[in-house]
Chain A
Amino acid sequence: MKRTNQLNRREFLAGAAAGAAAVGFPYLVPSGALAAHGRPGANERLTMAHIGVGGMGGYHLRDMVNRRNRGEVNIAAVCDADENRLANAAKTAGKGVQPYRDYRYILERKDIDAVVIATPDHWHGVQMVHAAESGKHVYVEKPACCTIEEGKAMVAAAKKNKVSVQVGSQGRSQPEAYLAHRYLVNGNIGHINRVDCFHYPSPADNNPVPDSDPPAELDWDLWLGPLRWRQYNKRYCHGVFRWVMESGGGQIRDRGAHVMSCAMWWMGADGTGPVTIEATGTAPTKGLWDSAILMEVTYTFKNPDWTLTWTQMPNDKLPKAEKRTGKEPGGKISRPGYGAIYRGDKGEFIHWGGDGGTWAEKKAREWKLPAGAKDVYKSPGHKEDWFKGIKTGKKTIMNIEAAVGVANLCVLGNLSFISGRKLRWDPAKQEIVGDQQAKRMMGRPQRHPYHL
């Protein structure tokens, strides 16, 4: 397809057939083997594998099974460090799909075109880089990275290996995100100099448990992967890893990677970054989780000058959600607890959600694009946009450069919170300025052999 280290088509087809016969399960023909100029043809099926199949990974697998049933893709493999989750995924995926514990078996298979990575955050950087180095196109869940250095490596790996990467901030692809975007870029609220993101608090660990041995079905070493070693604790893992700073980073790294993604996209700020970051917040008082419960982060941008804020506030302080009939294109607002207020010199605009559900204020939904006004890119759907990227080589809507820019906002907000001070950032060099400790925290050495 597009890789220099890949076998040529004839060698691959001969090898794949022999290999499949030898191991007793059906290797699939990658779509690229049939395509010209190293990319699959528009109507060819991509062959997919899923790495991380619990939580969002389970959603992605079910979604991909539906696509397979419609004849759009093949599914070749599923992978998880938890044997129970893996067994469930193997059942969901059906016959002919090979289960793996170690994702690197997937990367070795030449018949797989692309991988969907939905592991905990601390694996995103390493697995995306490894997949790119193995010539696979990648859909990786948000946030793109946990450290600044991981983000740099991800951008470099995608560029060097010419693979298409879509990061799972799917808010950009929602129908009402398109309506909000075109409403804002056409000056309906004037010049925007401030965007205030709001979110309900991160939870506290009110049921702490002591460390213990991991359950038999979980490969704890593999789950930890790049992170430094520690004893297993149930409160690190499934469903709650989000609240541990190292692996999940709290609400700011979860929904921040959605809501601030919309802000960067609509403000035309992809490829830029703040010059200062200042965070305050409240830390948990007990339990294992250490992400900020309440939090306020201020990002200052220069040239053009604007301010972005991220606030985790008590539920009773959240802006009230717009009332809807339910007959609107996006239906009723089912997630009113987060969104953003855009403040311009002629008015304000608010949206709720920002992920799989994005709801724009009525005035943006009802606004008609006048002749000669500026239209914006309308995503055909987040996965469809990725498939288009794979087949045409065009940048995806949440390409890795944009996604790392957004993830860096989340990472820097947390760094300012845990260091207890304002940080200065050089967006061109992608570096913290004038603070040696914070600069060291831009990266995190990784455990052997789970490293970039």
Chain B
Amino acid sequence: MSISNLKKASLAAGTVAMIAGTAGAAKTKAVDELINGIKNKSDKVRAEALLSAGGVGAPAVKSLAKVMGDKDTEVMRAGKRALWKIVRHVGRPRARDERNAVVAELMGVLGGDHPTLVRREALWMLSEISGRTSIKPITALLSDKELREDARMVLQRIPGKQSLAALKKGLKAAPKDFKLNIAQSLRQRGVKVRGLACVKLVPTKKTNVKPLK
């Protein structure tokens, strides 16, 4: 490469880096603004922040997941709603890259370092937009006592062979008190399940109220 070309290449690389840096800074600024708005004590400010949440996308997911653990109930709710806004925004047709980026971030929220409430919400968000990439971490939650029922329902909702295979595998591995739940999902997905009769019509809950004498 000639010195002239090297200079040009170097200049171009610098420009790309500068643009990338600027874009990165813009994203960070958008996330900060969103989080500050969502955490604001004013309903009106939180509502305005919510309106802008969709476009901020994947970079805001982790921060919003953290806000969902906030002690202030209204801030927690606003954080949850903002994250749902993002999920519904990136779920639109022809937004695959944005969607995949959000799915990747949400998978990071499934870990045990987040509160159960936040992990449960992330599971249901994934149920609307994720595909095969999320099957493995969701399947792992079938052995989590608090989240297994949600994980089972989410796998039921995600279409494709991978989620079906995960449910079948989950049925084999499930403890006795959870097998019927997974069998229910498999039936909903059109699989015949033998040896585990459906109990949906079996009454179990007795009242203490007596009939009038």
What residues make up the interface of A, taking CB atoms closer than 8 Å to B? 25, 83, 86-87, 90-91, 93-105, 107-108, 130, 133-134, 208, 210-211, 219, 222, 228-229, 231, 283, 285-288, 290, 418-421, 434-438, 440-441, 443, 445-451
Complex interface: chain B residues within 8 A of A25 (CB): 211
Scan B69-100; emit 1 where CB is below 8 A from any A CB, else 0. 00001100100010011001101110000000
Bound-state CA distance A87–B211 (Å) is 8
The answer to whether A285 and B129 touch across the interface, beta carbons within 8 angstroms, is no
Main secondary structure of the interface of A (DSSP, over half): loop
The answer to whether A86 and B201 touch across the interface, beta carbons within 8 angstroms, is no
Bound-state CA distance A435–B94 (Å) is 9
Bound-state CA distance A450–B181 (Å) is 10
Complex interface: chain A residues within 8 A of B4 (CB): none
The winner among B84, B120, B154, B188 for most chain A CB atoms within 10 A is: B188
The answer to whether B128 and A437 touch across the interface, beta carbons within 8 angstroms, is yes
7 other contacts beyond A437-B91, A438-B91, with CB at 8 A cut-off?
A83-B207, A211-B73, A285-B47, A420-B89, A434-B93, A448-B152, A448-B180
| B194 interfacial by beta-carbon distance below 8 Å | no
The answer to whether A83 and B209 touch across the interface, beta carbons within 8 angstroms, is yes
Bound-state CA distance A290–B77 (Å) is 10
Complex interface: chain A residues within 8 A of B202 (CB): 104, 449
Complex interface: chain A residues within 8 A of B127 (CB): 440, 445
The answer to whether B213 and A95 touch across the interface, beta carbons within 8 angstroms, is yes
What residues make up the interface of B, taking CB atoms closer than 8 Å to A? 43-44, 46-47, 50, 54, 73-74, 77, 81, 84-85, 88-89, 91-93, 117, 120, 124, 127-129, 149-150, 152-154, 156-157, 159, 180-181, 184-185, 188, 198-213
Contact check: which of A83, A290, A447 meets B149 at CB < 8 Å? A447
The answer to whether A104 and B201 touch across the interface, beta carbons within 8 angstroms, is yes
Q: How far is the CB of B46 from chain A (nearest CB, A)?
A: 6
The answer to whether A420 and B73 touch across the interface, beta carbons within 8 angstroms, is no
Bound-state CA distance A407–B67 (Å) is 35
The answer to whether A99 and B43 touch across the interface, beta carbons within 8 angstroms, is no
Q: How far is the CB of B206 from chain A (nearest CB, A)?
A: 6
Complex interface: chain B residues within 8 A of A86 (CB): 207, 209
The answer to whether A445 and B153 touch across the interface, beta carbons within 8 angstroms, is yes
The answer to whether A101 and B43 touch across the interface, beta carbons within 8 angstroms, is no
The winner among B152, B203, B209 for most chain A CB atoms within 10 A is: B209
Q: How far is the CB of A23 from chain B (nearest CB, A)?
A: 11
Bound-state CA distance A285–B40 (Å) is 12
Q: How far is the CB of B166 from chain A (nearest CB, A)?
A: 14
The answer to whether B81 and A283 touch across the interface, beta carbons within 8 angstroms, is yes
The answer to whether A102 and B180 touch across the interface, beta carbons within 8 angstroms, is no
Bound-state CA distance A99–B206 (Å) is 10
Complex interface: chain A residues within 8 A of B212 (CB): 90-91, 93-97
The answer to whether A447 and B88 touch across the interface, beta carbons within 8 angstroms, is no
Q: How far is the CB of B103 from chain A (nearest CB, A)?
A: 12
The answer to whether B128 and A441 touch across the interface, beta carbons within 8 angstroms, is yes
Once A419-B92, A435-B93, A445-B185 are accepted as A-B contacts, the answer to whether A228 and B205 lie under 8 Å apart by CB is: no
Q: How far is the CB of A381 from chain B (nearest CB, A)?
A: 28
A-B contacts, 19 of them at CB < 8 A, read A83-B207, A95-B213, A96-B211, A101-B207, A102-B203, A108-B203, A133-B201, A208-B73, A222-B205, A228-B120, A228-B124, A283-B47, A286-B77, A287-B77, A418-B88, A436-B93, A445-B154, A447-B153, A448-B184
Complex interface: chain A residues within 8 A of B153 (CB): 228, 445-447
Complex interface: chain B residues within 8 A of A437 (CB): 88, 91-92, 128-129
Complex interface: chain A residues within 8 A of B154 (CB): 445
The answer to whether B207 and A290 touch across the interface, beta carbons within 8 angstroms, is no
Q: How far is the CB of A57 from chain B (nearest CB, A)?
A: 15
Contact check: which of A98, A419, A446 meets B88 at CB < 8 Å? A419
Complex interface: chain B residues within 8 A of A440 (CB): 127-128, 157, 159
Contact check: which of B124, B157, B207 meets A99 at CB < 8 Å? B207
The winner among B77, B89, B124 for most chain A CB atoms within 10 A is: B77
Q: How far is the CB of A42 from chain B (nearest CB, A)?
A: 31
Name A288's closest neighbour in chain B (CB-CB). B77
Name A445's closest neighbour in chain B (CB-CB). B153
Bound-state CA distance A203–B209 (Å) is 34
Q: How far is the CB of A423 from chain B (nearest CB, A)?
A: 11
The answer to whether B200 and A450 touch across the interface, beta carbons within 8 angstroms, is yes
Q: How far is the CB of B130 from chain A (nearest CB, A)?
A: 10
The answer to whether B46 and A285 touch across the interface, beta carbons within 8 angstroms, is yes
Once A99-B211, A102-B206 are accepted as A-B contacts, the answer to whether A419 and B150 lie under 8 Å apart by CB is: no
The winner among B44, B124, B128 for most chain A CB atoms within 10 A is: B128
Contact check: which of A87, A102, A443 meets B205 at CB < 8 Å? A102
The answer to whether A449 and B180 touch across the interface, beta carbons within 8 angstroms, is yes
The winner among B149, B181, B200 for most chain A CB atoms within 10 A is: B200
Bound-state CA distance A211–B159 (Å) is 33
Bound-state CA distance A107–B72 (Å) is 44
Bound-state CA distance A25–B210 (Å) is 11
The answer to whether B128 and A229 touch across the interface, beta carbons within 8 angstroms, is no
The answer to whether B211 and A97 touch across the interface, beta carbons within 8 angstroms, is yes
Bound-state CA distance A100–B129 (Å) is 40
Complex interface: chain B residues within 8 A of A102 (CB): 203-207
Name B95's closest neighbour in chain A (CB-CB). A437
Name A419's closest neighbour in chain B (CB-CB). B88
Bound-state CA distance A11–B201 (Å) is 22
The answer to whether A107 and B207 touch across the interface, beta carbons within 8 angstroms, is no
Q: Nearest 5 pairs between A and B by C-beta?
A: A437-B91, A445-B153, A104-B203, A101-B207, A285-B47
Q: How far is the CB of A155 from chain B (nearest CB, A)?
A: 17
Name B157's closest neighbour in chain A (CB-CB). A445
The answer to whether A290 and B43 touch across the interface, beta carbons within 8 angstroms, is no
Bound-state CA distance A25–B74 (Å) is 51
Complex interface: chain B residues within 8 A of A104 (CB): 201-204
Name B146's closest neighbour in chain A (CB-CB). A229
The answer to whether B81 and A99 touch across the interface, beta carbons within 8 angstroms, is no
Bound-state CA distance A229–B153 (Å) is 11
The answer to whether B213 and A90 touch across the interface, beta carbons within 8 angstroms, is no
